[in-house]
Amino acid sequence: MERKNGMLRAVAQGADAPRSVKKGTVPRIWAFARPYRGWLLAFLLLTVVTATIGVLTPILAGQVVDAIVARGTVSAAAGTVIGLAAGIAALAVLEAVVGLASRWFSSRIGEGLIVDLRRAVFEHVQRMPVAFFTRTRTGALVSRLNNDVIGAQSAITTTLAAVLSNAIQLTLALAVMISLAWQVTVLALLLLPIFVLPARRMGRTIADLRRESADLNAGMSTQMTERFSAPGATLVKLFGRPDEEAADFGAAPRGCATSGCARRWSRGCS
C-alpha cells in the first residue's frame, strides 16, 4: 500500500516530480501491473515472436538471392526459391496473426491500467487534507489524472515491448552477422558509438521537451478549469479583462506548438 501511495503522490503532484527515476519506482509500478502479470507475460512472449520473425524474414530473403547466384538463373533455382518464398509468406501471415493478438493483449492491459490508475489517484486525492487543495491548482490535478496516467500506461504496454523487441532483434542480428562475417561485425561495432552517443543525447532532449509539453498542457488545463467555472467567469466579467485573459491563455498553446515542433524535429534528427 505504501508503494502505491508513493506513486500516487508523484502523479498527483506531477509538477514537482523529480527528473530522474528514483529507487523503488519500478516496484511501485509493478504493484499496479501485478494483476495483469498473466496477460503481460503473454504479451511479452508475442513480442519475442514478432522480433524473431523480423530477423528471420531478411535471412530467408538473403538465401533466395544466394540460391539464384549459386545456380546462375532463377529457373535453375526454382525449387529452392519457391520453398523459401513460401516460408517468407508463412512468416508474414504468422506475423500478422501475432500482431493482432499482441495488440489485443496490449489494449486490454493498457485500458485496465488506465482504469486502475485513475481510480487509485482519485481515491488518493480524495483522502488528502484541505491544505493540499489550497496549494494545488485544480486544473493541474485534472491534467495529471487525464494525461499523465496515459503516459504511465504507455510505459508498460509500449515502451517495455519496444525495449524487449529491440534487445532481441539486436542479439539475433549480431549472432547472424558474426556467423556470416565476424570482421564486418567488429567494424560495425567499432562504428556503433558514433550513432549511439548522439542518439542518447537527443533522447534526453526529447524527454525534456516532453516534460515541458506536459507542464504546458497542465497550465492550460489549470487556466481553463479556473476560468470556465462560475466563480472564475464572474471575476473575469467583473474586472473586465477578457482580452488579457485570452492573450495570457494563448501563450500556453504557442508554447505547446513550439515544444511539439522541436520534439518532432529532434526525432527526425535521431
Digit-coded pLDDT (tens) for 18-41: 445 566 666 777 777 788 888 889
- Is-above-0.75 flag for pTM? no
pLDDT tens, 176-191? 888 888 888 888 888 8
**For 95-107, what is the HEC assignment?**
HHHHHHHHHHHHH
Q: Which of 60-69, 70-79, 101-110 has the lowest mean pLDDT?
A: 70-79
pLDDT tens, 154-211? 777 777 788 888 888 888 888 888 888 888 888 888 888 887 787 777 777 777 777 7
Name, in order, each residue with C-beta under 8 angstroms of 112's C-beta and a sequence gap of 6 or more: 35, 36
Question: Phi and psi (nearest 5°) for 129?
Answer: -70, 165
Which of helix, strand or coil describes residue 21?
coil
What's residue 136's pLDDT? 75
Give the closest residue to 221 by CA, choosing from 154, 144, 148.
144
Across 56-67, average pLDDT: 85
What's residue 73's pLDDT? 67
Whether the Cβ atoms of residue 98 and residue 46 lie closer than 8 Å to each other: yes
What's residue 74's pLDDT? 62
Whether the Cβ atoms of residue 69 and residue 185 lie closer than 8 Å to each other: no
Question: What mean pLDDT, rounded, does the chain reach?
Answer: 75
Name, in order, each residue with C-beta under 8 angstroms of 99's C-beta and a sequence gap of 6 or more: 50
pLDDT at 5 over 60: no
Q: Which three cell numbers stand for residue 177?
A: 552477422
Q: How confident is the model at residue 65 (pLDDT cuts 50, 70, 90)?
A: confident
Q: Which three cell numbers stand for residue 228?
A: 470556465
